[in-house]
């Protein structure tokens, strides 16, 4: 056990975003943090929705505090799933509890809600946004976007299978042969790859499309067909392997070519999102109307405006006998494993920052620099400064 007098304290608070069931750290991670010189205190009930009771935390060495205010008073570092920017309404209640010099780590949605970063700066806290982790080898074990996308891709296929008017697999029965469902995945990032794998395991015929031709090998390695369109996609991949926002003429041509492809599938799952920007419309209302009756679309970009023109966030839309699901916060619907993955990401990030029991902020390190949002009363992240004052900074989304 570490020397408590020389330890930093990490606080785990209960999530206040409506419907959020995850927790930032699970009990099994507490001993490793303790060995790294980090004590852990947890707000009572913080892990309950994810399947972790207070007794589990205390058995692993954490301290349970019943009062949220006490967590903020005790902790040097606060860990959250949804920090202020990702919880802009309910999260305001925490601002008054923050202490100058305290560190906040979590998903802060800084490029979408940059004004909340100024609020954090004004509160005098040091904040790190885990969504901005660079996609480099050293950061893979900290990558919350990939972890949560894995769960979203898996759950999207289960939603599709549950709502579709047919089964996924090929079945040969005494009552005749049942043809397999035809599934199209649009956007082959982490969520798309997991959706491909899950749909294949359920027995569907799977095709996938992405504007980045480099993902073809990954698609085919999972047993799916890669859809090729007659388009120039040479500049479609941006920094870190993320899909890059393209011009409207590109998307117009893409939609024209995709119309025929979409019409030939029973299920479409769209996953295309660009960090900090509204999701591009890839499936128009006219394309939906060309699909067969009983077809289904799951729009994983619904929280960013949706890839489907008819998507309504958090709702189910039926258009010309085609059902369009716009799910919100799918990772929270699998809170046990989502918290396990997210918590491991947080643990690794904490161990990256804390050396010999002390928080060390090395801005020469790419991981630290890219995720650091506020420090010493200032917004210091170039991408966030550009979002706050477009055109006034040399930075920007890459």
Catalytic residue among 143, 210, 266, 370: 143
pLDDT at 235: 56
pLDDT digits 0-9 by tens, 176-230: 999 999 999 999 999 999 999 999 999 999 999 998 888 999 999 999 999 998 7
Catalytic residue among 66, 92, 115, 140: 140
Give all domains of the chain, ordered by start, each with its CATH number.
4-142+335-388 (3.40.50.720), 151-328 (3.40.50.720)
Active site residue 143: yes
Determine the average pLDDT of the residues in 30-38: 96
Pairing outcome for strands 38-43 and 63-65: parallel
Tens-place pLDDT, residues 81-94: 999 999 999 999 99
Nearest residue to 130 (alpha-carbon basis) of 110, 114, 149: 110
Residue 1 has a pLDDT of 39
Q: Clarify whether 36 is annotated catalytic.
A: no
Which position among 146, 254, 295, 332 bears the catalytic label?
146
What is the mean pLDDT of the segment spanning 131-152? 96
Is 115 one of the annotated active-site residues of the chain? no
Distance of CA 205 to the CA centre of its chain: 27
Q: From 275, 282, 274, 271, select the one nearest 309 (Cα to Cα).
A: 282
Residues 6+ apart with CB under 8 A from 292: 263, 266, 322
Asked if pLDDT for residue 275 goes beyond 80, the answer is no
**Catalytic status, residue 135:** yes
Adjacent-strand bridge partners of 127: 104, 374
- Asked if the model's pLDDT at residue 233 lies above 70, the reply is no
Residue 57 known to be catalytic:
no
Stretch 16-33: mean pLDDT: 98
Say if CB 371 and CB 135 are below 8 A apart. no
pLDDT band at 293 (very low <50, low <70, confident <90, very high): very high
Question: pTM of the predicted model, to two decimals?
Answer: 0.90
- On the question of pLDDT at 24 being above 90, the answer is yes
Query: Which listed residue (35, 135, 138, 289) is catalytic?
Result: 135
Q: In the chain, which residue ranges form alpha helices assigned H by DSSP?
A: 30-35, 54-59, 68-74, 92-95, 114-122, 144-163, 190-201, 216-221, 248-263, 285-289, 335-353, 366-371, 382-388
Which position among 242, 251, 253, 351 bears the catalytic label?
242
């Amino acid at each position: 056990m570490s020397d408590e007098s020389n330890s930093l304290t990490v606080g785990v608070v209960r999530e206040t975003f409506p419907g959020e069931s995850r927790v930032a750290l699970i009990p099994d991670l507490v001993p490793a943090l303790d060995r790294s010189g980090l004590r852990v205190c947890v707000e009572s009930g913080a892990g309950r929705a994810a399947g972790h009771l207070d007794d589990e935390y205390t058995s692993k060495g954490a301290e349970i505090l019943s009062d949220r205010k006490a967590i903020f008073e005790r902790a040097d570092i606060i860990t959250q799933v949804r920090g202020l920017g990702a919880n802009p309404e309910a999260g305001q209640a925490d601002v008054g509890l923050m202490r100058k010099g305290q560190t906040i780590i979590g998903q802060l949605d800084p490029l979408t809600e940059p004004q909340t970063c100024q609020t954090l700066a004004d509160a005098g806290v040091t904040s790190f946004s885990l969504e901005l982790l660079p996609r480099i080898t050293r950061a893979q074990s900290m990558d919350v976007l990939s972890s949560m996308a894995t769960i979203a891709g898996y759950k999207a296929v289960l939603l599709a299978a549950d709502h579709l008017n047919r089964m996924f697999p090929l079945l040969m029965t005494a009552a005749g042969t049942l043809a397999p469902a035809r599934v199209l995945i649009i956007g082959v990032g982490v969520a798309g790859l997991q959706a491909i794998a899950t749909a294949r395991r359920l027995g569907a015929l799977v095709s996938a499309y992405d504007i980045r031709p480099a993902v073809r090998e990954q698609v085919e390695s999972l047993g799916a067909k890669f859809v090729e369109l007659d388009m120039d996609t040479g500049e479609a991949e941006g920094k870190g392997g993320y899909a890059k926002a393209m011009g409207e003429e590109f998307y117009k041509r893409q939609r024209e070519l995709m119309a025929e492809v979409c019409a030939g599938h029973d299920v479409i799952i769209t996953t295309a999102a660009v960090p900090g920007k509204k999701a591009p419309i890839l499936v128009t209302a006219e394309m939906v109307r060309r699909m067969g009756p009983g077809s289904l679309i799951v729009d994983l970009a619904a929280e960013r405006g949706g890839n489907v023109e008819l998507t309504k966030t958090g709702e189910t839309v039926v258009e010309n006998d085609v059902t369009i699901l716009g799910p919100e916060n799918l990772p929270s619907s699998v809170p046990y494993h989502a918290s396990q993955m997210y918590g491991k990401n947080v643990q690794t990030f904490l161990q990256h920052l804390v050396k010999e029991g002390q928080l060390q902020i090395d801005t020469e390190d790419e991981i630290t620099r890219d995720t650091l949002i506020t420090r010493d009363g200032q917004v210091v992240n170039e991408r966030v400064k550009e979002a706050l004052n477009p055109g006034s900074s040399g930075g920007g989304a890459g």
